[in-house]
Amino acid sequence: MKVFIALSKKYVRPILSVVYMLKPKPKVTVVSDDEEVEVLSKYYGYEFKQFNNVEQLAAMQELREYDIAILAMDEDSKNVSIIKAVKQYSIPIIVTILHNSNNREIFISEGATYIINADEFLYSNIHALIHPDTWVVSAPFSALPKLEIAVYRVLRRALFNIPISEILEKVKEYGSDVTLYCFNRFGNKVSENSILSTGDYIVLIGVAESLEKTVREVEKLFRKYEEVYARRYLETIRLKEYG
Amino acid sequence: MLRSLKNETRHAALIGLTLGHIKKLKSLLKEDIFTEKYLIFYGVSISRVIWKIPIFYIDPPLIRGYAMKRSVSLVHEPVLVFVNADSKCIEKSLVKNAIEDIELGKYKMFLSIPFTSSNFEKSYNRVVAPILKDVLGINNVNFPSYSLVIGLRKYFDLDEYTLWSYEHLALLNTLFIDKSSVRIEHSECADTIPELFNGVEDIFIKSLAKSIVNLAIRQRIIEEKLGKKLIEGLL
């Protein structure tokens, strides 16, 4: 197998160490515009080529024989321009790193086979930590873009005493292929008979469409509890005034 | 003879820089004379902008100079056409004629239609204009940025970089090589920089001044000692 890697210094360690584990050892060519990458690719014993502009890559005739291209530059624009340059050599698998989720369609239209969304990982992690009581949906594996995972951290909605068994019923009803897990704040699994409490995580795993539908239905359930709670609260006020 | 060439495709790439308020330029963006077209969105996006031609989102947003620098590597054509896609002044014929003139070799870079605001101009006249006039001897670049910038690609490939007006660096890069190769057309119509950028003008203009001095040092137009003095004066 022949592997072509366009690399920036930011991604040297994760990518080269993974490629190094391949057996039997492939022929690897690393290209980069950073000097640091040259040192590391020498350490791993890979062929290295420095490039200053993309035209130099477009002139690499030997790319015709390569089986996989990994594009890990630190800018979306650089990745796109390299895809454009090597497209003529029709490398069967092109893996690329995406930094801004909005640019995904440009990558698809240029012909990237797998898109690793680095942006989404950061976004969903920070979102889940900072915004409790909202759903965070993300696709963790770029090879399986339809497999999605939805996470919900409970904070204020723990007030409503929602039983987990009710959520499970909803999941069974609306998303037959969606799996539900509940964890407490320490990362231990919570049994089905208990009630949602502060710091709990609800995790749903499933295929994109049915997962989205299930998330919507569970959110509806939460809203219903919210409404019931609000009504009860209003009634107590009324009782105080007139009763 | 040239009339007959007018409808054919050019080896030019259109790069439309936008903050998401495209109005007048729709017809130019749909034009088929460009072989490569990109809209570069450099605003802060909350929701996605939907448009018929591919939109490229730049990180970090709001930094126009960075968006321009990055988009140079995004396209491969020899002639680059940067337009402010939110502009109200750009005419299709102006763009077409300028591309034609550049392809004929009349000049290497063409700038028109100021993209400016009063605060930007004040800051520009205080900081950058003295350097351009007194040190480098350039008198005709009077505005902090331009809505229409057309030029040969090789002059945009620079090591230097600035936060707002990348066209100034490309322009000087051309001027240092050949004084007569640049055309700056003055127009009555001018675009205004949105209010969004109020309060950050000084940061943008100082960054431009620093990059201009650095470029001049690298091209050996001014001595390093003088350059360092100029940069110290800015801080």
Where does the pLDDT of residue B178 fall: very low under 50, low under 70, confident under 90, or very high at 90 and above? confident
A220 Ramachandran zone, left/alpha/beta (phi>0; psi -120 to 50): alpha
- Does residue A52 fall inside a structural domain? yes
Backbone angles phi, psi at A150, to 5 degrees: -115, 130
Query: What total of structural domains would you count in chain A?
Result: 2
- A87, A121, A155 — which closes off a domain? A121
Q: Which of A137, A152, A126, A115 is nearest to A207 (CA)?
A: A137
Question: Which range among A77-91, A186-200, B3-17, B174-188 shows the weakest confidence by mean pLDDT?
Answer: B3-17
Do A14 and A114 fall within a single domain? yes
- CA B185 remoteness from chain centre: 14
Backbone angles phi, psi at B208, to 5 degrees: -65, -45
Q: Please name the residue that has the structure tokens 């790193």.
A: A97
**Average pLDDT of A154-164?**
90
Determine the Cα–Cα distance for residues B166 and A131; give it in Å rounded to an integer.
38
DSSP B133: I
CATH number for the domain harbouring residue A155: 3.30.70.1450
- Write the CB contacts of B234 (distance below 8 Å, at least 6 apart in sequence): B127, B206, B209, B210
CATH number for the domain harbouring residue A92: 3.40.50.720
pLDDT at A1: 87
Determine the Cα–Cα distance for residues B26 and B92; give it in Å rounded to an integer.
10
**Average pLDDT of B2-25?**
76
> From A53, which residue of chain B is nearest by alpha-carbon distance?
B73
**Average pLDDT of B23-36?**
81
Q: Identify the domain containing residue A63 by its residue range.
A: 2-121
CA distances from A177 to A113, A143, A173, A204, B216 (A): 27, 19, 10, 10, 65
Where does the pLDDT of residue B8 fall: very low under 50, low under 70, confident under 90, or very high at 90 and above? low
pLDDT at B4: 47
Backbone angles phi, psi at A117, to 5 degrees: -95, 95
Q: Is A81 helix (H, G, I), strand (E, B) or coil?
A: helix
Torsion sign across C-alpha atoms B150, B160, B74, B67: negative
Q: Which residue has the higher pLDDT, B35 or A96?
A: A96
Strand-pairing partners, residue A195, are A163
Where does the pLDDT of residue B48 fall: very low under 50, low under 70, confident under 90, or very high at 90 and above? low
- pLDDT tens-place string over residues B117-159: 999 999 999 999 999 999 888 888 899 999 999 999 989 988 8
Q: Does A196 touch chain B (CB under 8 A)?
A: no
Contact, A54 vs A73, CB < 8 A?
A: no
Q: Select the residue from A73, A75, A77, A122 to test the B interface by mutation, using most B Cβ atoms within 10 A.
A: A77
- Write the CB contacts of B3 (distance below 8 Å, at least 6 apart in sequence): none
Q: Is the pLDDT confidence value at A240 over 70?
A: no
**CATH class belonging to B2-117+140-194:** alpha beta
Do A14 and A106 fall within a single domain? yes
pLDDT at B6: 54
Q: Report helix angle B118-130 to B201-218, nearest 10.
A: 30
- CA A36 remoteness from chain centre: 28
- A121, A144, A177 — which closes off a domain? A121
B57 closest CB neighbour out of A55, A85, A103: A103
Respond yes or no on whether ipTM tops 0.85.
no
Contacts of B45 in chain A (CB under 8 A): 102
- Tell me the nearest-neighbour CA distance from B47 into chain A, angstroms: 9
- A88, A121, A154 — which closes off a domain? A121
pLDDT at A145: 82
**Average pLDDT of B53-70?**
90
pLDDT at B1: 47
Contacts of B71 in chain A (CB under 8 A): 77
Cβ contact B157–A106 (<8 Å)? no
- Tell me the nearest-neighbour CA distance from A106 into chain B, angstroms: 7
Q: Is the pLDDT confidence value at B73 over 90?
A: no
**Average pLDDT of B99-124?**
92
- Does residue A126 fall inside a structural domain? no
Contacts of B55 in chain A (CB under 8 A): 102, 106
B76 closest CB neighbour out of A84, A99, A109: A84
CA distances from A178 to A142, A150, A197, A214 (A): 19, 10, 22, 8
Residue ranges of the domains in chain B?
2-117+140-194
Do A6 and A116 fall within a single domain? yes
Contact, B57 vs A65, CB < 8 A?
A: no
pLDDT at B113: 92
